[in-house]
Amino acid sequence: MIENVFSKADVADFKLWMEWAGRFVVVTHISPDGDAIGSSLAMYHYLAGKGKSVSVVVPDSMPDFLSWLPSTDSVISYKEQKDVANKLFQEADVICCLDFNVPTRVGNVSAEILNSNAKKVLIDHHLDPGNFCDLILSRPDASSTAELVFQFICALGDYAEVNYQIATCIYTGMMTDTGGFTYNSNHPRIYHIISFLMKSNIDKDAIYRNVYNNYSESRLRLMGYVLHKKMKVFPEMSTALITLSDEELKDNNYKKGDTEGFVNLPLQIKGIKFTVFLREDVEEGIIKASLRSVGDVPCNRFASAFFNGGGHKNASGGEIHNSLKAAEAIFYKGMEEWSKSDEECIKQLFKKSE
> Which residues of the shown chain bind Mn ion in the complex (CB under 5 A)?
35, 99, 145, 177
Does 279 engage in binding with ligand 5GP (CB under 6 A)?
no
Q: What is the closest distance, in whole angstroms, from the C-beta atom of residue 264 to ligand 5GP in the complex?
A: 9
Q: Which residue type sits at 146?
A: A
Q: What is the closest distance, in whole angstroms, from the C-beta atom of residue 87 to Mn ion in the complex?
A: 28
| Residues 90-129 as x/- pattern, contact with ligand 5GP by CB under 6 A | ------------------------------------x---
Site for ligand 5GP, residues 213 to 272, rule: CB under 6 A: 263
The piece of 3-11, 112-120, 305-313, 342-350 that touches ligand 5GP (CB under 6 A) is 305-313
User: Which residue of the chain is nearest ligand 5GP when measured via CB?
Assistant: 317
Residue number with CB closer to Mn ion (252 or 312): 312
d(C-alpha 192, C-alpha 154), whole Å: 13
Number of chain positions touching ligand 5GP (CB under 6 A): 13
Interacting residue with ligand 5GP among 54, 317, 324, 331 (CB under 6 A): 317
d(C-alpha 129, C-alpha 126), whole Å: 7
Torsion angle (degrees, nearest 10) of CA 120, 126, 127, 128? -30
Does 60 engage in binding with ligand 5GP (CB under 6 A)?
no
Q: In what order do the strands lie in the sheet with 310-311?
A: 231-234, 239-244, 274-281, 286-293, 315-320, 310-311
d(C-alpha 128, C-alpha 205), whole Å: 34
The piece of 19-27, 166-174, 307-315, 330-338 that touches ligand 5GP (CB under 6 A) is 307-315
Q: What is the closest distance, in whole angstroms, from the C-beta atom of residue 13 to ligand 5GP in the complex?
A: 26
Q: What residues pair up with 276 in beta bridges, in sequence order?
A: 241, 291
Choose among ligand 5GP, Mn ion, none what residue 259 binds, the Cβ cut-off being 5 to 8 Å by kind. none
Output 112-119 pairs: Cβ under 8 A, ≥24 positions apart. Answer: 112/85, 112/86, 113/27, 113/89, 116/89, 116/90, 116/92, 118/25, 118/89, 118/92, 118/93, 118/94, 119/17, 119/21, 119/93, 119/94, 119/95
Residues forming contacts to ligand 5GP in the complex (CB under 6 A) are 33, 126, 263, 290, 309-312, 315-319
